Each structure stands twice: as C-alpha cells, then as structure tokens.
C-alpha cells in the first residue's frame, strides 16, 4: 500500500512538472513573438437546437433565445387522425441565455410527463478559421424534473425520484460554408424507473447540415441508444429477451428542412421520437422510424440581443 | 350579385387606401450623424477578396436582404412596413460614402435599423458585408 502511494506520488509529481514545463515553454514562445489573434470559425449550425438535439452553436453573449418545439403524433393511424396531425401532440417552450460567447444556460417546460428542465452548454474549445483548432468541443447537460403526481413514483417517494440527467459531449466541425457535422456521445441517468429498465444508458448521436441556399439547409440527425451489458442492471438473458420482444428503446431518426433568418430559425422535419427532451427520447422512444413510427415536428427559435 | 360587387369595391377601396397611406407615410431617413472615428475606418478586406462573395454575400442575404432587397434597392419584403425608407445601395450618393460610414450605418444602426454587432461578431465578416454592398454600385 505504502509502495503504491509512493509510486503514485512520483507519477503525479512528474506529471505536474511536465505540465509546468510545457506551460513555461509556451509562455517563453509567446513572449518572443506576439501571437496573432485567432478568428473563431463561424457557427457550425444556425441554431443551438437541431430537432431534439443540441448543437455546438452558442449565440453571442447576452443573447436570449426563445424556443418553441412541437411534435405531432405518429402517422401510423393513417387518415383516422389525419396522419398524426389530430393525435395528442407534445410541446416544449424554452428560454436560453448566453452568459458569454461560450456559456449558455436555459430553462424549459414540456407537456409530456410535465417535464421541467434546466440546461447548461459550454464550449471549452472553438474551431478556428486558420485550422489550428479543427473542431468545436461542447459539453451539454440537461437536468430534467418530472412534475407529474407523486403516485407515479411508487412507494418511498422522494423528490429526487423525479430527477433525470443527460450529459453529452459534442464534437462538431464546420467543414465549409455549406456542410457541418457533429458526433455526440451521451450518458443518461434516471433516478427512478420501472424495475425492468436500466437507470443508465449510453447513446451515440450524430447530426449534419447541408446548406443549399443562403437561408435554407437540409438537416439530418440520429440518436442511437446502446444496450451495453457492462452497465446494465439485468443479466444477459433478460436483456436479450427485451430485445427479442422488440421492447428496447428505438433509435430516433430525423430528416428535415431548416430556414434561418437574422433572428429566427425554423425547422420542419420528419422524426420518430415525440418526447423532445433528449433523456426522455433516449429512455422511452418506442416509435420505429421504419415501421410507421414517423411524426411531423416543428421547431421555431427567436433571438433577442441585449 | 349587386351586393357582391359592392363588397368587392369596398374591399378594393380599403386595400388601396392602406397601400396609399403606407407609401405616403414612409419618409427618407434623416442624415446620419457618424462619429469621426468611424468615418475614417479602413476596411480590412480588400476589394475583390474572396470573402466578399462568400461570407459577405451569405451574411448580407441572411441579415439584410429581407429589408434592403437582393440587390440593395430597398425593395425587400419587409421594406414596405418601415416608417423610414431603406435607401438604395446602388445609388451614387450611397456609394460615395466612405467604407467606415457604411460600416457604422450597417452595424451600429439607429432607430428602425437595428444594431448588428451581436449578429455578425467577426470584424472581417462585417467588412466582407461592406465589400459586398460595394458590389451593388450601378
């Protein structure tokens, strides 16, 4: 034990020394010649929101963004409910505010499950025009609070049962004026769920935009929840049975059109998940895009600068 | 039939009145009071630079076109609802201004012309827009 501690101490000391030397070296270089100010690349996406997903885009500091998200029902009932237009729809209203050019906070309220949410998005790395930083790195967190009746949370109710957490790292790149793309692994955790479900889930998401006119783009995205035995609370046989019965959460595919102006972004699209908040889609989506589980979605964002 | 013709006539009169009133109330803008430091500002983007037809054009179309029109003639779809004329970027009078004066009017703004510093944050992008406006000269 003592030996392990000693080795760990030495490793840490070496690491600190190395980092210190690197920073000193960098400082000396900086003093020798005035570094040119890097120009950040233009935002990879028009809005901080793409379908149900966040993008790396953070509006300039002191900008307020109002968000309206509307999801109709799925088309699977056909003409009976006019392909989902008359079916129960889900709606989220949100407000985001950019505290700095790299930090945004937000709140929102969603109809399904009476979800209330707090959001925070931070860009520790921003792509530069010179290419010295080829990507924008974003950390995104959504804290959800289910505000439905407490009887929905079983026995031994506690407020914390209502909480869910979605943590995502977004790596995005604006390849040129027309094409941008991002990949975004995420970790979702629910404090309280049905006993047959796992509380944790890892998901891979991807999104892309192709701008075909100064204001219009084709947009696509997908969320792919993974069933990982290593983080599952159930045994392999149980998980296999869930999969075989088709009860595992379905991926969320989205394809649509975005029109953006100076202050608005409007997205109209076909997608599969109806829950809007990412953790809700990742944990509960049962709509299969390739088996009639398609719905019409609309997003509208409006910006105010202060 | 008589009533229908009467209704259509009434509707037509109302629309004609509204259009006439709107066009009559739109006045040319007052002369701009531009601070000296802006008047002498020099563009960081040279004429003919590739960014003028890339960033400049794209940003103009996104932020300016709806009022000022695709060719800067002041005929964008929102122009008619303004109290003040949006001007004509192709005119000799407009183009005779310095780059700095166009920069101030475009990004600092006043009244109905909003401030665009928060919408176009990069300095070179702003000059690319000024450069693109320069290409509208007749």
Residue B41 corresponds to which tokens in the numbers above? Answer: 């500002």
Residue B115 corresponds to which tokens in the numbers above? Answer: 């401030």
Q: Which residue has the higher pLDDT, A247 or A33?
A: A247
Query: Looking at the domain covering A39-305, what would its CATH class be?
Result: mainly beta
What pLDDT is stored for residue A34 in this prediction? 55
Is pLDDT above 80 for A6? no
What pLDDT is stored for residue A246 in this prediction? 85
Q: Identify the residue among B119, B125, B129, B132 best suited for mutation to test binding to A, counting A beta carbons within 10 A and taking the highest.
A: B119
Q: Are the beta carbons of B54 and A177 separated by less than 8 Å?
A: yes
Q: Could you tell me the pTM of the whole model?
A: 0.81
How many angstroms separate the most distant Cα atoms in chain B?
67
Residue of B nearest to A216 (CA): B62
CA distance A190 to A199: 5
Q: Which residue has the higher pLDDT, A222 or A13?
A: A222
Domain segments of chain B as ranges? 28-134
Is pLDDT above 70 for A175? yes
Report the pLDDT averaged over residues A231-239.
91
The pLDDT-based confidence of B81 (bands split at 50, 70, 90) is: confident
Q: Which residue has the higher pLDDT, A255 or A21?
A: A255
Which tens digit of pLDDT belongs to each residue from B92-101?
A: 999 999 999 9
CA distance A150 to A207: 36
- Residue B55 sits at the chain A interface (C-beta within 8 Å): yes
Which tens digit of pLDDT belongs to each residue from A142-172?
A: 999 999 999 999 888 999 999 999 999 999 9
The pLDDT-based confidence of A1 (bands split at 50, 70, 90) is: very low
- Residue A214 sits at the chain B interface (C-beta within 8 Å): yes
B131's CB contacts (< 8 A; 6+ apart) are B43, B45, B47, B49, B51, B52, B56
Question: What is the residue-wise DSSP string for A5-22?
Answer: HHHHHHHHHHHHHHHHHH
Report the share of chain B in percent with pLDDT over 70: 90
Domain B28-134 has CATH 3.90.180.10: no
Please say whether the beta carbons of B12 and B20 come within 8 A.
no
Complex prediction ipTM: 0.70
């Amino acid at each position: 034990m003592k030996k392990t501690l000693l080795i760990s101490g030495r490793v840490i000391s070496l690491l600190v020394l190395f980092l210190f030397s690197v920073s000193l070296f960098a400082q000396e270089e900086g003093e020798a010649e005035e570094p040119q100010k890097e120009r950040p690349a233009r935002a990879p996406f028009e809005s901080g929101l793409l379908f149900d997903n966040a993008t790396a885009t953070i509006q300039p500091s002191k900008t307020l963004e109002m968000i309206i998200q509307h999801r109709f029902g799925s088309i699977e009932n056909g003409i009976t409910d006019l392909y989902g237009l008359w079916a129960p729809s889900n709606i989220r209203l949100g407000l985001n505010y950019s505290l700095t050019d790299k930090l945004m906070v937000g709140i929102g309220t969603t109809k399904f499950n009476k979800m209330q949410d707090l959001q925070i998005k931070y860009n520790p790395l921003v792509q530069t025009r010179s290419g010295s930083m080829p990507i924008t790195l974003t950390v995104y967190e959504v804290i959800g609070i289910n505000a439905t009746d407490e009887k929905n949370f079983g026995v031994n109710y506690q407020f914390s049962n209502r909480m869910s957490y979605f943590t995502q790292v977004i790596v995005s790149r604006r390849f040129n004026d027309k094409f941008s793309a991002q990949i975004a692994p995420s970790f979702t955790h629910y404090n309280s769920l049905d006993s047959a479900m796992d509380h944790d889930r890892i998901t891979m998401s991807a999104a892309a935009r192709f701008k075909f006119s100064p204001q219009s783009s084709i947009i696509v995205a997908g969320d792919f929840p993974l069933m990982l035995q290593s983080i599952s609370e159930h045994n392999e046989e149980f998980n296999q049975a869930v999969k075989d019965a088709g009860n595992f959460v379905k991926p969320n595919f989205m394809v649509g059109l975005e029109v953006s102006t100076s202050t608005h972004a409007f997205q109209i699209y076909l997608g599969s998940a109806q829950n809007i908040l990412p953790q809700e889609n990742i944990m509960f989506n049962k709509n299969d895009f390739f088996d009639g589980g398609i719905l019409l979605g609309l997003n509208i964002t409006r910006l105010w600068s202060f | 039939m008589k009533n229908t013709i009467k209704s259509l006539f009434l509707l037509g009169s109302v629309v004609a009145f509204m259009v006439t009133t709107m066009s009559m109330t739109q006045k040319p803008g007052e002369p701009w009071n531009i601070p000296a430091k802006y008047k002498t500002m020099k563009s960081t983007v040279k004429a003919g630079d590739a960014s003028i037809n890339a960033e400049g054009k794209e940003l103009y179309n996104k932020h300016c076109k709806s009022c000022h029109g695709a060719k800067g003639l002041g005929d964008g779809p929102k122009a008619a609802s303004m109290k003040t004329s949006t001007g004509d970027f192709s005119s000799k009078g407009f183009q005779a201004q310095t780059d700095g004066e166009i920069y101030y009017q475009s990004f600092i703004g006043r009244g109905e012309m909003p401030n665009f510093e928060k919408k176009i944050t990069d300095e070179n992008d702003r000059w690319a827009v000024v450069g693109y406006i320069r290409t509208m000269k007749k």
